[in-house]
Amino acid sequence: MAAPKPTLSVVDAVAIIVGIVIGAGIFKTPSRVAANTPNEGAFLLAWLLGGFISLIGAFCYAELATAYPHAGGEYHFLYRAFGQDIAYLFAWARATVIQTGSIAMLGFVFGDYASELFRLGEQSPALYAAFGVIVLTTLNVLGVRQGKWTQNILTAAKVLGLLLVVGVGLFAVTPLAPSPTSEKPSSGAFGLAMIFVLLTYGGWNEAAYISAELKDVRQNMQQALVWGISLITVIYLLANFAYLKGLGLTGMAKSEVVAADLLRRAMGEGGATFISLLIAISALGAMNATIFTGARTNYAWGQDFRALRFLGVWHERAHTPVNALLMQGLISLALVALGAWTRKGFSTMVDYTAPVFWFFFLLTGLTLFILRTNDPENPRPFRVPLYPLVPLLFCVVCVYMLQSSLSYTGVGALVGVAVLLAGIPALLLSHRHSSH
């Protein structure tokens, strides 16, 4: 049988890690981080800390992915460590909260920046978000797949936008003089600031899955992770330093579209329009990829559980999991409606996904201890350095982030937790269906 071969170099792996992690979030989350940090030093420290936390988490995932390589990723790790029921709840959470919440979140990034180009009334961001969900889901249902060149253009747009922000912020904008009468941003909560920071660093867990295709994985995995996440941290620090220089902490905290506001200050409306178009395109590209991969997870879930067999149907002519795509699209539209109702859009989607995301991140961190204890003979091509300190630190961070996401977030978090708990009766029904 065909199997992945080790063909990737360290440079290839670093490029993949950077490409996965740097998304549309860096154009949206800095304003939320600024609103929850008391000064510029704390603001930049949050981004530096985000890189460090991502690195220790990536080490944990790298050991799991090299010891138990499987397309199911976290689903497979949780299944081995905790059994079928926890794995089912993770799949439920991914289908109803994590993946669909990410689609709606990216929809609001698209909506906020598209509204800079042409506003559609009071609920403009939500209308654009819903439009994006409907159009991209329909394209995937019809089997229309983005070509490689299209994805390359979208990636280029994202990189160009980020370079433009850094260049303009560092070299083309005169720093704002601090005004004694200017209102200081709310000190907020550092835990809430870290939720937005770590959301922006998100994606490194996907990068650990290239382990089967990396040459000399024992040595090169560590190098790729250190170099990749270090490079991302430097890029994020430069971008945020540019935002700070051009808008100031107070200006950032008040902005819904920091990149557009920075370019507007430096180059007028033309600059704001150009960057808004680039970011809207980039957000659509990320949204399409999330719709594509999320539906495949739901398809696999439907094949594993008889009660959800309707999700595990593959449409022969379109070559797509149509039912999985339609269910995902409907849930995503409901979440866009939730964001519109709270009038906070993007922030509501972060609230909705954060507690559930960090709960399962914590469980995945714990699988490292369980599987090392229960399955000590299994080969581990890559081992976490300084075990057990590194995975223990990762689990402590996950507990802190889980507590922060429950303490400092709004109605969205309560809805997210309620949807996760609704998976328990669904699991019991699935067991009953399987026993007949």
Residue 176 has pLDDT above 70, yes or no: no
Closest CA to 96 of 275, 335, 397: 335
What pLDDT shows up at residue 215?
84
Tokens 């999320």 — which residue?
294
Mean residue pLDDT of the chain comes to 85
pLDDT of 189 over the 60 cut: yes
Residue labelled with tokens 């995902």:
328
Greater pLDDT, 208 or 38: 38
Residue 44's pLDDT band, with cuts at 50, 70 and 90, is very high
- Looking at residue 203, its pLDDT comes to 82
**pLDDT for position 207:** 67
The 3-state DSSP class for residue 26 equals: helix
Confidence of residue 318 (pLDDT cuts 50, 70, 90): low
Query: E-strand spans in 70-214?
Result: none
- pLDDT at position 206, please? 72
**Which residues are CB-contacts of 237 (< 8 A; sequence separation ≥ 6)?**
44, 47, 48
Greatest Cα pair distance, the chain, in angstroms, is 72
The mean-pLDDT minimum among 25-34, 110-119, 208-217 falls in 208-217
Q: Residue 196 pLDDT more than 90?
A: yes
pLDDT over threshold 60, residue 102: yes
Q: Token pair of 356, please?
A: 């559930």
Three-state SS string across 260-287, please?
A: HHHHHHHHCHHHHHHHHHHHHHHHHHHH
- Average pLDDT of span 54-59: 92
Nearest Cα neighbor of 249 from 349, 175, 192 is: 175
Query: Which token pair is 180?
Result: 């004694």
Identify the helix (H) or strand (E) that includes residue 198: helix 190-200
**What's the sign of the alpha-carbon dihedral 67, 71, 73, 78?**
negative
Question: Tokens for 428?
Answer: 């019991």
Give the C-alpha distances (Å, rounded to integers) separating 409 from 3, 203, 364, 401. 44, 22, 23, 11
Asked if the peptide bond before residue 425 counts as cis, ω within 30 degrees of 0, the response is: no
Contact 347, 317 (CB under 8 A): no
CB 324 within 8 A of CB 295: yes
160 class by beta-carbon count within 10 Å (0-12 exposed, 13-18 middle, 19+ buried): middle
- Residues 208-236 have a mean pLDDT of 82
Which segments within 168-308 are labelled E, that is strand?
A: none
Higher-confidence residue of 184 and 85: namely 85
Q: What is the pTM of this model?
A: 0.85
Number of Cβ atoms within 10 Å of the Cβ of 425: 9
Position 112 pLDDT exceeds 70: yes
Rounded to 10°, the helix 269-304/124-141 angle is 50
The dihedral region occupied by 319, where left means phi > 0, alpha psi between -120 and 50, and beta the remainder, is left
**pLDDT value of residue 212:** 67
